[in-house]
Amino acid sequence: MSSDNSESTLSDYGIYKISEKHEFTLPDIEIKIERIGEHVFSYIRKDAEDNILKKIIPITSSDLTIELCPIRPLNYPAHRTNHVYLDFESPIFLSKDSAATVFVRCPIEVGIFLVHDGHKDSLDWFTCDPLNSRFCLYGTPESGTLCKYMNSEIVESYDDSIPFQNAVLKIDIKNELSRGVTVSKIVFPITGNSIYYKNSKAIVDSLTATFKKKLTLEIIDVDSIMIQTDWIKSPTYEQSESIKHMDMGVD
Amino acid sequence: MAFEFLQSLADIEITGGLTLLSLFIGGIIMGVGIIIARTIRLLFTKYYAPKLPQDTAKNFGKLIYFGIIILSFLVFTSTTGVDFSGLLVAGGIFGVIIGFATQSVVSNLISGIFLMIEKPVKQGDKIEIPGSDVTGTLLDISTFSVRVRRFDGTIIRVPNESFFTSNIRSLSSTPVRRSEAIVGIAYKEDIDGAISVIEKQIRKSMAFVLTLPKPEFRISALADSSVNIEILVWHPRDDWDQVGPTLLKVAKNALDGAGIEIPFPQRVIWQAKE
């Protein structure tokens, strides 16, 4: 995709080559990228509360190439965990020795990557659904796992994601126990799952969840499975808070 | 020439069998010992310390350094052939005097060793010593004292003995923490309505408050002028500063927005019939 038209509005994920100016309008977010010098662009993001983020991007080529894509929902409000807790709106009941495949909504964030010389560097990231981007605790306060929380709806297919707010995740659930089970939530580290996009829809690598008995314990085994798809794979970005020792005061 | 020089040093006796030559050799042994100790500590710090926890690495470094120096001193004393028994007797008496005088120093040293063994907290933990003004990040546990960087940026030194015998509250040993605040509403107001508006405002404006466990609301007192509601919210352990100091502000804004009165202290006076 390329654009010189200042009036153009974003409706899709993808790679954009910007020569002069481009404006993206996402849910509650406005992004404006424009040339301010021969080899310099400015990047301005404004959210619903009128918070403004501005960055200057010096480039070596004549055009600016960026990729707008879904990323894992681990950065907002801060990167504190790699786990996601999907709380199903409607719990699923599986009778003994049965299996089911469900599609559920999974949260995402949006990433903007600067594409140059075959590299994709994270320029910015944000969430279009800040009110639903919250943490929760799975387990006890003493030894539980901090997770990103989402009240997740069960949907029909991969096409049912809400643009820029969530993706669809397929879960194959199998019950190998000798009794029926009710599944009301699933907790998993999302760092093992890639995200793919097509137009404004997004999907996540699928999961398999198997209820089984190990000796006397009943356990649930959750694994990530890479999906085969023609959708475009998103680059990944997770904010890291490494301590920097600055000798020259550059941050 | 050199041999004659050394011979002349060997002839000069300082005291009880200790010659200038043996003192010279001892000096060389100690010098070499210090160089070896520093080199080994440097190699340890460079290659092995990064794989160990920070405080363990630091203690091991000290152990290696002083261990080699003590070993060098023992080699020095055994090569000189000096009889230290007189010195030991004198040292014994002197030791008792010094022992009384340095009781607190020894106590701090022993406490430091126990702190290193027990490890109630580790370097980088956020801690609080209840009943004192020590709250902050633990910088290190050294031989005689513990250093804590308080949240105002200053560093406070706590003697090991006092730290070891205190109650220590660790603020970063669990994944989440709870913050509390109390807000009062007028007696005429609907309690459930007030709780509902506070809950909605917390959910809307406090990104670090956990969805599960849910914020909890308790009526903490039917006080003189108000019904006091205690708000309890959980948040990631490192984000107290995003929640604790703003919880009351959020609650007040929510109540103000909904027109719910936060009463001033008031007293009803009944005039007796004449």
What digits encode the pLDDT tens for the residues A13-23? 999 999 999 99
Q: Can you tell me whether residue A215 is helix, strand or coil?
A: coil
Across the interface, of A130, A136, A138, the residue whose CB is closest to B207 is A130
pLDDT value, residue B219:
95
CB contact (8 A) between residue B212 and residue A137: yes
Tell me if B203 and A131 make a contact (CB, 8 A cut-off).
yes
Distance CA A213, CA B45 (A): 48
The answer to whether residue A80 neighbours chain B at the CB level (below 8 Å) is: yes
Q: What percent of chain B has pLDDT over 90?
A: 37
The interface predicted TM-score (ipTM) is 0.85
pLDDT attached to residue A241: 57
Residues of A in contact with B203 (CB under 8 A): 131, 134
A98 vs B113, higher pLDDT = A98
Sign of CA dihedral B30, B32, B33, B35: positive
Rounded Cα–Cα distance for residues B245 and B235 (Å) = 13
pLDDT in tens, B56-83: 777 788 888 888 888 888 888 777 666 6
pLDDT score, position A134 = 94
How long a stretch of residues is chain B? 274
Q: Which residues of A touch B208 (CB under 8 A)?
A: 77-78, 135
Structural domains in chain B? 1-82 (no CATH), 125-170 (2.30.30.60), 176-258 (3.30.70.100)
C-alpha to C-alpha distances, A94 to A153, A154, A175, A177, nearest whole angstrom = 18, 15, 7, 10
How are the residues of chain A apportioned to helix, strand and coil, as percentages rounded to the nearest 5? 5, 60, 40
Share of chain A above pLDDT 90, in %: 66
* Closest residue to B174, CB basis, from A76, A80, A142: A142
At CB < 8 Å, which residues of chain B contact A? 174-176, 178, 203-204, 207-213, 234-236, 238-239, 242
CB-based contact B236 A146, cutoff 8 Å: yes
Residue A4 predicted with pLDDT over 50: no
The chain B residue lying nearest A77, using CA atoms, is B207
Closest CA relative to residue B206, chosen from B167, B256, B254, B159: B254
More confident residue, A243 or B183: B183
